[in-house]
Each structure stands twice: as structure tokens, then as C-alpha cells.
Amino acid sequence: MTIQEQVAELANCTQARVAEAFKSMTIYGSLGNYLDYLRLLKALRLLKTHPNYNVEAVAKEAGFASVRTLNRKIQDVVGMTPRQFRDMCTIDGTE
């Protein structure tokens, strides 16, 4: 069951209504975009606070389906790769 289906069931409404409500009440446009945003924040936090984690572990723990997806999302938002972001966050640039 998808998240949207679960929300619709809990709210006792249709998936279309959930999508419409989410779009009209948030800046994210869709529930999927919001979940991507939360995953991205978690990944960035993990890269910053756990420099010993490899990118594969970060992708998995943050809920991304693949390292490729994580790389693309971080590149789109931050303008650098996960490794570059992690290196920027560490004092001496090492893991």
C-alpha cells in the first residue's frame, strides 16, 4: 500500500482528495515531493553528522531506492555530489 493510499484510508477519503489537499495546503505540490524533501534532509544530515558512513549506507538509511537517486537529488538541490557535500562539512575534508 502506498503512502498516499494509507493517508487516504486513515483520513477516510479518496486518494484524489489527499492529492488535492496536499497540493493546495503545502508548498511541495505532492505527497511524493514532500517525502523526497524529507529523505533529502535526512541524507544531508547523515552526511554531515556521520562522515564515516558511505554513500550507499546514507542512501539506504534515508530511504532512497538507489545511490543514483540520492546523487541526482543532492546534485539538483545542493549543486554537488554527496561526497563533495560531506567533504565540505568536515573540517579537514577527510572521512
Q: pLDDT digit string (tens) for 67-83? A: 999 999 999 999 999 99
The confidence band for 92, taking pLDDT boundaries of 50, 70 and 90, is low
The confidence band for 6, taking pLDDT boundaries of 50, 70 and 90, is very high
Q: Where are the beta strands (DSSP E) in the chain?
A: none
The confidence band for 91, taking pLDDT boundaries of 50, 70 and 90, is low
CA gap 65, 44 in Å, rounded: 16
> Is pLDDT above 60 for 8?
yes
Give the CB-side neighbour count of residue 78, counting CA atoms within 13 A. Answer: 22
**C-alpha dihedral sign at 27, 33, 37, 42:** positive
CA gap 3, 48 in Å, rounded: 28
Q: How would you classify residue 29: left for phi > 0, otherwise alpha for psi between -120 and 50, otherwise beta?
A: left
> Is pLDDT above 70 for 18?
yes
Q: What is the mean pLDDT of residues 82-92?
A: 84
> Is pLDDT above 70 for 50?
yes
